[in-house]
Structure 1
Amino acid sequence: MKNLGFLSFGHWMDQGSLVKTASDAYLQAIDLAVAAEKIGIDGAYYRVHHFADQSGSPFPLLSAIGAKTNTIEIGTGVIDMRYENPYMMAENAGLTDIITQGRVQLGVGRGSPEQVMDGWKYFGYDYSEDEIKEIARDRTLEFLDLIEGKPFAEPNPQPMFPQKPGKLRLEPFSAGLRQRIWWGAGSQQTAIWAAQQGMNLQSSTLVTYESNEPFHVQQAQQLRAYKQAWKDAGHAFEPRTLVTRSIQPITTDFDRQIFGSQGAETKQDQVGYLAYHQDPTIFGKTFVGEPDKLVKELAEDEAIKEADTVLLTIPNTLGVDYNVHMLETIVKEVAPELGWR
């Protein structure tokens, strides 16, 4: 059995898209989550980018989805912690988790290369060369401490409102949120670090190229290393592991028109370099074809076997109706044959 969710980058663009504005992107994101819940999708996750025509500032979106749904998990994959104030983020995350009644699944990490150079400077941060290497981890650990709910702030002896004696914590506090924080890992080393810190694991469609083996094998090794590190750390709760896949079922003429002619290069793993990254990265292939073909290919994916959650990347610019069609096809015609449902 697998938890099935979707991951949206929330793109909008003027040409060749049913999502032409930011308003379109965010409102359709809410509509899609509502529809996805009805067809049995377990999670709605959103990528976070800054200075881009795609989704950012996640907490208002997650709260709006939570107010219109009842069961679907609502998450991010991932929030770039180089841009975040851990104190403000802890307040926002706590409130969002309360509004969504404990359904937030918050993915955090360093994120991918952004649209501008050193974009965090425009958010008020000016890191040194040494700081920038570790700042995402440092900010994450600070955020984790804050959402534990431990009192730490010295009270004002003459407060405006009555308060309990002793030190104060950030409010609102949401119990259980700490166990629903995920780290977006790109390598075995970062996966092990996430386990040691007691975070769940998100592993996307790219990982650091650490051997000559196929993408799914390298990713499976990452997940196994994480699980062993978690066991060694002796945490008091069971972790979750998540992988992302691009899966495009072909069941209609429109599916075939849009995705049937994709180049061969997308249907196999690719090795390349991300900007500002010294180590090579391996990108997982896109799965395209009729449902029976997808079942055969996905059954061989070792990383999917290791994970308890699979996120399906969606072409959000094709609109809500198309993405519901795509997700419903996977839920009804692919997932049951694989034992995911």
Structure 2
Amino acid sequence: MKKIGFLSFGHWTPSPHSATRSAADVLTQSIELAVAAEELGADGAYVRVHHYARQLASPFPLLAAMGARTKSIELGTAVIDMRYENPFYMVEDAGAADLISGGRLQLGLSRGSPEQVIDGWRHFGHEPVAGETDAEMGRRHAQVFHQLLKGEGFAQPNPRPMFPNPPGLLRLEPHSEGLRDRIWWGAGSNATAVWAAKQGMNLQSSTLKDDETGEAFHIQQAKQIRAYREAWKEAGHARTPRVSVSRSIFPLLDDRDREYFGRGAKEQDQVGFIDERTRAIFGRGYTGEPEKLIEQLRGDEGIAEADTLLLTIPNQLGVDYCAHVIEGVLKQVAPALGWR
């Protein structure tokens, strides 16, 4: 059994061929898709955060709105680039959105990836300290955020406050109990997966990771997940961690599917460089008749190791079509694989 949700990058473009022609379109349709996915029995509605791009960028107003319109579906990010975040303000935003949803947030964080502009986090007021890389700054912000979510007091109260204070040091409010256990780290390498385990964060592994062995993507991902779980065990955490992977999976069920995806997805892994030093491997997509998909997905070791599967959806094709894709996986593919 697996939790199955969708992951939207929230693309929009002012094109007559797009169902999301504005930021307003993609925001409102993201809410509508969360409602539709919940009605279909999906477990999660996740969004990606990209700055300086015609995509979803500010997650907490959206997550709060999704939480107000839904009742049971998990609401998350995959991922928030922590180089851009003030962890103190983020604790307040996350706490408010989690309380509105009744404790359903699942927040995926990361140190970030190449963005639309050079050092865009500098415009947000963030600078690495001396001797620190921007990736290390992102991990530091994440550690501060994760620590603050404990809800422990740390700030000295004013002796003459405007309103009465509770006794002792003050914490950030609103505090949402349990949110700290629902923080995930988007790891692009085996080492950062181990780091996340030591921190006590859940693991998100996408369709992109460092090419560390030259093996097929799904094999490398499975090894990354096993290394994470071993590190978690060694760290002695009390709870059982969660692990998600994301995939592009498109069952061909009708003429629309064949028109959009009938020529096949990238059915082989792709290798490239995400910066001057980092060789990365991009996992393949899956497209075909349900019987074909079932056989192919049986051999995906990365999915087998995870408890949560996030389906990347083509959000510019509109809510109805994305719901159709999600329903196809839930009803035509997942049961035969034991995921439902």
TM-score, structure 1 as length reference: 0.97
Q: How far apart are 1:279 and its partner, in Å?
A: 2.0
Q: How far apart are 1:110 and its partner, in Å?
A: 1.5
Amino acid at match of 2:327: E
1:40 aligns to 2:45 (yes or no):
no
Counterparts of 1:156 and 1:9, CA distance in 2: 43
1:160 aligns to 2:162 (yes or no):
yes
Does the residue aligned with 1:130 lie in a helix, a strand or coil?
A: coil
Structure 1, unaligned stretches of length 5 or more? none
Residue number in structure 1 paired with 2:209: 207
Amino acid at match of 2:270: Q
Amino acid at match of 1:273: F
RMSD of the TM alignment (CA)?
1.0
Q: How far apart are 1:129 and its partner, in Å?
A: 7.2
Q: How far apart are 1:212 and its partner, in Å?
A: 2.0
Counterparts of 1:19 and 1:200, CA distance in 2: 32
Structure 2, unaligned stretches of length 5 or more? none
Matches within 5 A, 1:85-234: 85-127=86-128, 130-131=131-132, 132-234=134-236
Does the residue aligned with 1:44 lie in a helix, a strand or coil?
A: strand
1:268 aligns to 2:256 (yes or no):
no
1:278 aligns to 2:280 (yes or no):
no
Residue number in structure 1 paired with 2:59: 58
The list of structure 1 runs, each at least 4 consecutive aligned residues, that deviate by more than 2 angstroms after superposition, is 126-131
Amino acid at match of 2:285: T
Counterparts of 1:130 and 1:222, CA distance in 2: 28
Amino acid at match of 2:309: V
Amino acid at match of 1:329: G
Q: How far apart are 1:180 and its partner, in Å?
A: 0.2
Q: How far apart are 1:267 and its partner, in Å?
A: 1.1
Q: Would the aligned equivalents of 2:67 and 2:75 in 1 still touch at CA under 8 Å?
A: yes
Counterparts of 2:156 and 2:103, CA distance in 1: 29
Residue number in structure 2 paired with 1:8: 8
Q: How far apart are 1:127 and its partner, in Å?
A: 2.9
Matches within 5 A, 1:230-245: 230-245=232-247
Q: How far apart are 1:166 and its partner, in Å?
A: 1.2
Counterparts of 1:127 and 1:224, CA distance in 2: 32
Does the residue aligned with 2:107 lie in a helix, a strand or coil?
A: strand
Counterparts of 1:256 and 1:289, CA distance in 2: 9
Does the residue aligned with 1:267 lie in a helix, a strand or coil?
A: coil
Q: Percent identity?
A: 59
Q: How far apart are 1:60 and its partner, in Å?
A: 0.3
1:289 aligns to 2:298 (yes or no):
no
Counterparts of 2:167 and 2:287, CA distance in 1: 61
Residue number in structure 1 paired with 2:69: 68
TM-score, structure 2 as length reference: 0.98
Counterparts of 1:310 and 1:217, CA distance in 2: 16
Q: How far apart are 1:111 and its partner, in Å?
A: 2.2
Q: How far apart are 1:281 and its partner, in Å?
A: 0.5
Provide Cα deviations, 1:292-314, integer angstroms capped at 9, x if missing partner: 10000000001111100000000
Counterparts of 1:303 and 1:75, CA distance in 2: 21
Counterparts of 1:238 and 1:133, CA distance in 2: 27
Residue number in structure 1 paired with 2:319: 320
* Number of residue equivalences: 338
